[in-house]
Amino acid sequence: MASGFLARLGAIIVKEVLQLRRDRLTFAMMFGVPIVQLLLFGYAIDADPHRLPTAVIAADQSQITRTVLSALANTGYMRFTHQPASEEEANRLLQQGEVQFVVTIPSDFTRRLIRGERAQILIDADATDPMAAANPLAAAGPAINQALGRDFVGPLAGLRHQADAVELVVQRRYNPEGKSRLNVVPGLLAVILTMTMVMMTALAVTRERERGTMENLLAMPVRPVEVMVGKIVPYIAIGSVQVAVILVVSRLLFDVAIEGSVALLSVGTALFITVNLAIGFTISTLTQNQLQAMQASFFMMLPSILLSGFMFPFRGMPTWAQWLGEALPATHFMRVVRGVMLKGAGFDDIATELAALLAMLLLVSILAVSRYRVTLD
């Protein structure tokens, strides 16, 4: 009977809505989370980043070099932040990710230019993220030649007709062929670990609460830190296996090798896994049931993909979004993995990232232990 069908269907719908309305946190998250994410990502993400930090080694100081540099700055893609004294220092800045580009103007630049010889400008680019490097490099050459055209007056007017008086020598470092996968595969390590590690532990405590085993556990003489560490340790092992699998597959199928030290990468990874597990544990002490814990994990995951520099260039985001990104463990781990795997970064290069992860671990652990109750109060 159609009427009977509708009545029963109605009964189920009414019941579902009532239950949904009662779970306030879930309800709030269903509406709040999309709005927050829409605003956040809509304003934060820029696939064509500007004002990228750039180091300049200008061995030749002249009116012409100043013209060249201001032409580069005027493209809007480069912002001169460092003036390293040596090439080594410049390389270190690039390795540590302090700068995206190093512009080197050789000492004989002006002289050669005036003599009508080919003058070179060197741009070393951190090409681990081909997307971030492509547009600035493409814009650099034309901008320089155009600007110089205006400077070539009087005795230099003859140079004006030379199509490219200045040769731009570009070195795409760490990823010379500009392969996206070199950038994406190590980054995936961070994303996959965030996804699984946070969620697995987020469910750990809420599951005990939902199944009614929590009361029994609390009545026994176990300390909060024992419960927390005990619940986390098995997942560290699982995370380690995941990492091993991802690295082997990266090597075999995607031809992504580890440039730097495997031991260093392992230390960074172990730290990152632990941070994620601690976050998951904290989520599970803050949420009432498994559904809420799942939602909270997802809320954590999307920014880890979108704001961490995984999908879009980190420096393309507005400053506030970069600060937000800095608060995510995935951002720091992304730099560790890309640094070690692609750039062969050493401990000194990634020490600040490791320190940031360690600080997060401490902070989150304190929060988790203080949130976990020995009593049912």
Positions that interact with other proteins (CB under 8 A) = 211-213, 215-222, 374-377
Q: Tell me whether residue 139 or residue 218 sits nearer to other proteins (CB atom).
A: 218
Name the minimum Å distance from CB 257 to other proteins: 42
Gap between the Cα atoms of 334 and 194, Å rounded? 11
Q: Tell me whether residue 70 or residue 216 sits nearer to other proteins (CB atom).
A: 216
Name the minimum Å distance from CB 231 to other proteins: 13
SS3 122: strand
Q: Two tokens at 67?
A: 């013209």
Q: Tell me whether residue 48 or residue 226 sits nearer to other proteins (CB atom).
A: 226
Name the minimum Å distance from CB 215 to other proteins: 5
Q: Tell me whether residue 18 or residue 376 sits nearer to other proteins (CB atom).
A: 376
Name the minimum Å distance from CB 217 to other proteins: 8
Q: Two tokens at 24?
A: 């306030």
Helix (H) or strand (E) holding 243, with range, is: helix 224-254
Name the minimum Å distance from CB 226 to other proteins: 9
Distances in whole angstroms, Cα of residue 359 to Cα of each of 106, 195, 274, 329, 353: 42, 21, 12, 10, 10
Which residues have CB under 8 Å from 260's CB, separation 6+?
A: 339, 340, 341, 343, 344, 345, 346
Which residues have CB under 8 Å from 356's CB, separation 6+?
A: 326, 332
Q: DSSP class of residue 59? A: S
Q: Tell me whether residue 61 or residue 213 sits nearer to other proteins (CB atom).
A: 213
Name the minimum Å distance from CB 337 to other proteins: 35
Name the minimum Å distance from CB 376 to other proteins: 5
φ/ψ (deg, to 5) at 102: -125, 120
Q: Tell me whether residue 319 or residue 375 sits nearer to other proteins (CB atom).
A: 375
Alpha helices of 255-340 — where are they, by DSSP H?
262-286, 290-306, 319-326, 329-338
Q: Is 140 exposed, middle or buried (0-12, 13-18, 19+ CB in 10 A)?
A: buried
Q: Tell me whether residue 167 or residue 226 sits nearer to other proteins (CB atom).
A: 226
